[in-house]
Amino acid sequence: MNWHEIGSIEDIPARGARCVTTPQGRIGVFRTADNEIYAMEDHCPHRGGPLSQGIVHGASVTCPLHNWVFSLETGMALGADEGSVKTMPVQVVDGRILLGFERPLMAAE
């Protein structure tokens, strides 16, 4: 796993999110009320809504467009909805958020 720092946990409000652009596309990085950090594609499988603009509650996020709910832990849609969002490995080290990429990123990135 190739870990890349994308900012500080302080950059994201509790129960908030931000979007980062990576070589693997736009990734939503979410912070729960318990200060857990999760990362997943910022693209709802329903109609492409920006999940990073959704509402974080518990370990879930509600899409801002049509209110589908996804687990931040698994990326799976919850309730009656179907589909999933690709999650990404993420860890916090000394308050810094690191995203895990399977392949090394190119130097220009």
Sign of CA dihedral 106, 90, 5, 12: positive
Q: How far is the CB of 74 from ligand FES (least distance, A)?
A: 17
CA 62 → CA 10, 17, 50, 91, distances in Å?
22, 12, 10, 22
Q: Which residues bind ligand FES (CB under 6 A)?
A: 44, 46-49, 63, 65-66, 68
CA 81, CA 109: separation in Å to the nearest integer? 36
Q: How far is the CB of 49 from ligand FES (least distance, A)?
A: 3
Q: How far is the CB of 70 from ligand FES (least distance, A)?
A: 9
- Between 66 and 86, whose beta carbon lies closer to ligand FES? 66
